[in-house]
A and B are shown apart, each in its own frame.
Chain A
Amino acid sequence: MSASTPAFERFSLSPARRRKDRVARGAVVAATAVALVPLVLIVYYLLSKGLSSWSVKFFTTDPTGNTFFAASSIGGIKSAILGTIEMVALASAIAVPLGLGVAVWLVEYGKSSRFAHTVRFFIDVLTGVPSIMFGLFIYIALIVGTGTSYAAYKGAFALSLLMLPVVTRAAEVVLLLVPGSLRESALALGAPRWKVIFRIVLPTALPGLLTGILLAIARAAGETAPLLFTAGATMKTGFNLSGFMNSLPMQIYTDVTSPTTAVVNRAWGAALTLVVMILLLNLFARLLARRSSLR
C-alpha cells in the first residue's frame, strides 16, 4: 500500500502539518512575549526612575522626615538598607538551618510515614498563608501577648516564619533529586547515616539548596506586611535588634504615598536598591556554588 505511494508524496511536508507547526510555534512565542512585557517594563521603570535618585548621599544618610522642604533635605535610605540586611540576616539564621533540618528529616528519615505526610501538609498550608498573617501572629504572640513594644527581632521572627516553608519545600525537592544510588553506595562503604547526609547528600544538592535559600531570602527581603506591626517605624539607623528598625519595603511603602515628588522618587531609588541587592546576592551564591563543585 505504501509502496504504491510515490516517495515525494510520502516524505514531503504536507501544507496542513506546516500550518499546525506555525500555529503552535506562534502560540508559544506569543506567550513568552506577553510574559516578558511586564518584566521588561518593571526593569525599565526601576532604572529610569530609580537611577536618578541614586547618589552617594542617598546611600549614606538616613531619611530626615523633612518631606515638605527642598528635595536635598529629605535624606537617603541608609537606615532602610541596613535594617533590611540585619532583619533578613537574623531571619535567615533562624529559618535556613531549621528548614534544611526539616527537609533532611523528611527525605532521609520521615519518607512516606504518616507523620511525614502531616508535616508536608502543614508546610504546604504555611506556604499559602498570606504574609500579613505572620506579622499578625507575631504581633499577637510577642507584642500584645507579652505587653511589650515593637522590635527588630520580632520583625525578623515574622520573616523567618515566612521563609521556613519556602526553604523546606525547595530543599526537600532538591534532596529528593540526589540519586538513591549515591546514598546506597556510601552506606555500603560503612558510612554512618549522618556522614552520608553531610558528606554526600548535602554537597551533591548544594547548588539547588542555595537556589532555594536565595528564593526564600529574596521573598523575605521584599515583604512589607510582616514588618508593618512588628518592627516598628523609625528613620534612624539602628543596630539594636530589640529596638525599632527601618527596612527597604517599609521605606518604599511610606515614601510612595507621599505627595512630594522627591520622596516618591526616593521610593523608586529604594526599590532599585532592593532589586540590585538581591541580584548581587544571587550572583554571589552562584559563584560560591560553582567554586565548590568540580568542573
Chain B
Amino acid sequence: MSADEPTISLAKPTISPGETTMSADEPTMSPEDQHRQMLDPSRSQSSKSPQSAPTAPAQGRANAADGLAVKLERLRAFYGDVEQVKGIDLDFHANEVTAIIGPSGCGKSTMVRCINRMHEEVPGARAEGKVLLDGFDIYDSNVDVVAVRRAIGMVFQKPNPFPTMSVFDNVAAGLRLASRGRGDLHNKVETALRGAGLWDEVKDRLSEAGAGLSGGQQQRLCIARSLAVEPEVILMDEPCSALDPIATLKIEELIDQLKTRVTIVIVTHNMQQAARVADRTAFMLSGELVEVGPTQQIFTNPSDSRTEEYVTGKFG
C-alpha cells in the first residue's frame, strides 16, 4: 500500500489535464514506465512480479498504464430534489482496491456512478462538487465525457454482455465503439480475455453468443470488455451479487491481479468480500461518508461507533 504511494505523484506529469484519452498517452508512457521502475525498486516488486505470473502474455500491453488516483471533493448527487449523496470527501489511492460498504440506499452506487459521470444518464439526476481524476476535475465544463469514461471503466451488478454480439465482438466492442478497433484487434481481445481470466474457457467459443456463457463467465466477459479499452480506473458496482461463490472467488482473485495496473473502486454488500479484496474500506450511511481507512482497521478497530455496529452486524 504505502509502496504505491509515490506513484501518485509520479504519474501526474505524464498526463496532461484535459487529455485523458489513453491513445495520446501510450507512446509517451512506455519509456516513462521503464524509467519509473528503475527509480523505484519497490514498485517493480509490488506490481511487476504478480503481473508477470498469471497474465504472462501481457506483452500486448507492455506499456499498460498504471492506475490513476481519484479524489472526491464535497461531492453531492441528486435525483430531482432528493439529495442522495450529501457532500463526500474521499480519496481513492492509485493501484489500490477501495471498497465502499453501507446499507441499501445509502448512496454507494450513486456516488460511484458520479466518478465516471454515469449518474447524469438518469433523467433528472445531477451532481455537484468535484471529482478529481489525477488532479483534474472531470466535472469541469469543458470536459469530454466520452474521454473520461474511456479512462474510467465500469462493471455493473448484473452481467450484461451485448446480446447481438459474439464473445469476441463483446470484448472488441469497447475498442470499436471508441474508434480504437484498428491495429491488432485479435491480440487486444486475447489480452483482455486473459486479463479477465477467461481466455482458456472461451478460446474455442469466440464466435458463439456472449449471452450463452454462464453467469460468472458473463461477468468476467464484461470485465474483459472494460479492460480491453485499457482504463486506468475500474468501478465495480456489486459485481458479484448475481454470482455463485465459486464465480465470486474467481472475480475476487481477478481484482487482486488487476490492481497492479488499475485503481479499483468496488461497491459491495458483502462485508467478507470487502475484507478479502480491499486495501481500504469506506463506510457510508444515508448519503454521508462515516469513515474511511485501511480495511483491517475498519473491521477490527473502527473509530466511529456506527461503523462498528454495521461491521459487527448490529444493523444493515
Contact = CB atoms under 8 A, between A and B. Distances in A.
A199 interface: yes
Contacts of B123: 111-112
Contacts of A192: 146, 177
B160 A190 contact: no
B164 A184 contact: no
A288 B165 CA distance: 16
A187 B119 CA distance: 12
22 contacts: A181-B160, A184-B118, A185-B160, A185-B222, A185-B225, A186-B173, A186-B177, A187-B121, A187-B149, A188-B149, A188-B153, A188-B156, A189-B150, A190-B146, A190-B148, A190-B174, A190-B229, A192-B146, A199-B176, A200-B177, A204-B164, A294-B165
Contacts of A183: 121
Interface string B212-236: 0000000000100110010000000
Interface in A193-216: 195-196, 199-200, 203-204, 206
Contacts of B173: 186, 189, 199-200
B211 to A, nearest CB: 8
Which secondary structure dominates chain B's binding surface? mixed
Contacts of A181: 156, 158, 160
Contact of B166 (A196, A200, A294): A294
A184 B178 CA distance: 14
Given A179-B160, A204-B162, A295-B209, A188 B226 contact: yes
Interface string B164-180: 11100000011011100
Interface string A274-295: 0000000000000000001111
B17 interface: no
Contacts of B118: 184, 187-188
A189 B178 contact: yes
Contacts of B164: 200, 203-204, 206, 292-294
Contact of A294 (B149, B178, B209): B209
Given A195-B177, A199-B173, A188 B116 contact: yes
Contacts of B163: 182, 204, 294
A189 B151 CA distance: 9
A185 B178 contact: no
The 6 closest A-B pairs by CB, nearest first: A190-B150, A191-B177, A188-B154, A189-B174, A294-B209, A190-B149
Nearest to B150: A190
Interface of B: 116, 118, 121, 123, 146-151, 153-154, 156, 158, 160, 162-166, 173-174, 176-178, 208-209, 222, 225-226, 229
B156 to A, nearest CB: 6
Given A182-B162, A294-B208, 12 more contacts: A111-B123, A181-B156, A181-B160, A183-B121, A186-B162, A188-B116, A188-B154, A189-B229, A190-B147, A191-B174, A192-B146, A204-B164
Contacts, number: 82
Contacts of A186: 162, 173, 177
A189 B156 contact: no
Interface residues of A, number: 26
A187 B226 CA distance: 11
B114 to A, nearest CB: 13
A115 to B, nearest CB: 14
B80 to A, nearest CB: 12
A203 B222 CA distance: 19
A204 B163 CA distance: 7
A292 B156 CA distance: 27
Contacts of B209: 294-295
Contact of B177 (A111, A189, A203): A189
A111 B118 CA distance: 17
Contacts of A206: 164
A98 B143 CA distance: 33
B154 A200 contact: no
A179 B164 CA distance: 13
A184 B156 CA distance: 9
A247 B187 CA distance: 56
Nearest to A113: B123
Contacts of B151: 190
A294 B212 CA distance: 10
Given A112-B123, A293-B164, A294-B165, A190 B156 contact: no
Interface in A208-229: none
Contacts of A187: 118, 121, 149
Contacts of B208: 294
A183 B162 CA distance: 9
Nearest to A185: B160
Interface string A216-244: 00000000000000000000000000000
Nearest to B163: A204
Contacts of A293: 164
A179 B226 CA distance: 19
Contacts of B226: 188-189
